[in-house]
Amino acid sequence: MRRRLLTAILYFRAMLVEFRGTLLALSVILVIGATLLLLSPSAWLGGPRPRPAKALFAAWMSLLAQSPYSSPEVWYLMVMNALFPVAGGIVIGEGVIRLALLLVSWQRGEKEWMRVMAATYNDHVVLCGVGHLGFRVLEQLVAAKIPVVVIEQDENGRFVPQTRRFGVPVLMRDMREDQSLVDAGIATARVVIIATNNDMANIEVALDSRRMNPGIRIIMRLFDQQIASKIAGALTIDAAFSASALAAPMVAAMALETRILSTDVIAGIPHVSAEIRIGDRSDLIGHDIAWLERECPLRALACTAADGTVQSPPAPGTLLGSGDTLVVHARSADLSTTVARVRGG
C-alpha cells in the first residue's frame, strides 16, 4: 500500500513535468491578466478594484470568454478581453488534447507508469532480459519475494505478458542505454542479473553497471563457461556463467532418473545437489560412505536406507545397499558419470 501511494505521488510529479510548458504558459497569462486588473482604476472597471484572488479568477474567466468586466473603459482591458479567449483556447485546448492522448495511449501511459514504479525500488534486483533463462530466474526471485525491476527490449517477447502479470516494473528499453539502467534504479540496486543471449551486450551492461554502482553484485550470462570464468576475474564480475554448461550435466543426470535439488556456482565452477537411488547393479553396494567419498568426486549430504532410516549427514561407516537413496553434492561436470556409477551401469 505504501509503495502504491509513493508510486501515485511520483506519477503525479511526472505528469507535472510532462505538462510543465502548458502550466507555465497558463500561469504567465493569468499573472499578466490579474496584474492589469489590479493596476486599473476602479472607474475604468465599472466597479471597485478587485482583490488579488478575485483578479486571478477574473483573468481565468477571461480565458474562458466569460470576463466579469465585459465593458471596460480602457483599451488594454479591451485587448485583454479580445485576446484572452483565443489564448485560452490554444493553451488549455492543447493541454486537454495532450492529456486525452496520454490517457488513450495505453502503451505510452504504461511506460511512464512503469518508469515511475521502478523509481520507488531500493536494494532490489535489476534483471536484464526475460527470455527462457531470464523468466525462470524471475520466477524464483518473485517466489522468494525479492523486489525486481526488469529491462526487456522486445515488446513482443514470449514471456513479457507473463512477466507483467507478476506485477513487477517492466521497462521496455535497450539495456545498453545508460538511461535504461538509471531508470531501473541501478544506483540503489543490490544485484544486476544480465541474462540475454548477446555476450557482447552482456559485457557492456556489466561494465556500465559497475561504473554506475561500484558496490553492486554482477551476475552475467555468457555462452562459454571457460571464457565466462576468465572474464569474471578480469572484469571484477561477481559471477559469470554459461547456461549450457550448467544445464547439460543436469539434463544428462535427469535422463538417468536423478532428481536435481539445487545448482550453485562455487569459485566459478558449477555445482549441483542431487538425489540418487542406488541401483541393484551398483558397485557401491556393500561399501560405506567414507569409501564412496574417496572413490567418487562428491560429498554425501544425506542417506535414506531402503527401510526408511534417514541420516543427515550420514556417518562415514554407514554401509550402502540396493534401494538406498543418497543426496550428494558434486561438480556439474562430474554428475552424469557419478550418477551412472551410483545407479549401476
Q: Determine which helix (DSSP H) or strand (DSSP E) holds 42, and give its type and residue range.
A: helix 42-45
pLDDT in tens, 158-189: 899 898 888 888 999 899 999 999 989 999 89
Task: Quickly state the pLDDT bin for 244 (edges 50, 70, 90).
Answer: low
More confident residue, 43 or 60: 60
C-alpha of 21 from chain center:
31
Q: Which has the closest alpha carbon to 43: 82, 76, 74?
A: 74
- 271-289 pLDDT, tens digit each: 888 888 888 888 888 899 9
| Architecture field, domain 121-241 | 3-Layer(aba) Sandwich (3.40)
What is the reported pTM? 0.55
Q: What percent of the chain has pLDDT over 90?
A: 13
Distance CA 135, CA 140 (A): 9
The CATH number of domain 256-343, selected from 1.10.3720.10, 3.30.2010.10, 3.30.70.1450, 3.30.750.24: 3.30.70.1450
- All structural domains of the chain with their residue ranges: 2-104, 121-241, 256-343
* SS3 state of residue 325: strand
Say if 121-241 and 256-343 have the same CATH topology.
no
Instruction: Read off the C-alpha cell for 187.
Output: 544506483
In three-state form (DSSP H/G/I as H, E/B as E, the rest C), the secondary structure along 225-253 is: HHHHHHHHHHCCCCEEECHHHHHHHHHHH
pLDDT of residue 331: 85
Of 292, 297, 287, nearest to 330 (Cα)?
Answer: 297
pLDDT at 149: 92
